């Protein structure tokens, strides 16, 4: 991989990390609960956006390889929070919040898959 590609990924990661912190903070402030809904929101939104971006790439609406890397690997890689999801799931279970952990896991897992498909299918319906 060329340095330019790494630079594009880094720029995207910078943007994605800031957007992640802002979005998760906003949602967690609005919905105070044992379930970390900020992470759920970021994973669901991120899945939709990444599905949409993949659709745009497939229909050649995004062709620049640096832009592809910046938006997908960089921005969306930093925006979505699957590792945070794993740790938060573990701590919900560790703290005896089994029902909350099952709800949290289900929302993230199934919601992310459904919204990734929705993003992709939306782009295919518009441009495909």
User: What is the pTM (predicted TM-score) of this model?
Assistant: 0.87
**Can you give the pLDDT of all 128 residues of the chain as single tens digits?**
999 999 999 999 999 999 999 999 999 999 999 999 999 999 999 999 999 999 999 999 999 999 999 999 999 999 998 888 998 999 999 999 999 999 999 999 999 999 999 999 999 999 98
CA distances from 94 to 1, 38, 43, 65, 106 (A): 41, 20, 22, 43, 17
- The DSSP code for 74 is I
Pick from 33, 37, 86, 76: nearest CA to 54: 76
The CB-side HSE value for 68 (13 A sphere, CA atoms) comes to 12
């Amino acid at each position: 991989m060329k340095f330019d590609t790494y630079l594009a990924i880094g720029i995207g990661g910078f943007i994605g990390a800031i957007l992640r912190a802002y979005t998760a903070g906003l949602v967690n402030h609005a919905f105070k609960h044992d379930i970390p809904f900020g992470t759920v929101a970021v994973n669901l939104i991120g899945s939709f956006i990444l599905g949409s971006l993949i659709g745009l790439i497939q229909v050649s609406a995004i062709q620049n390889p640096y832009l592809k890397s910046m938006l997908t690997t960089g921005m969306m890689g930093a925006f979505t929070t699957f590792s945070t999801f794993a740790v938060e799931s573990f701590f919900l279970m560790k703290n005896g919040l089994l029902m909350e952990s099952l709800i949290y896991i289900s929302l993230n897992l199934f919601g992310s898959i459904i919204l990734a498909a929705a993003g992709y299918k939306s782009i295919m319906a518009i441009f495909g």
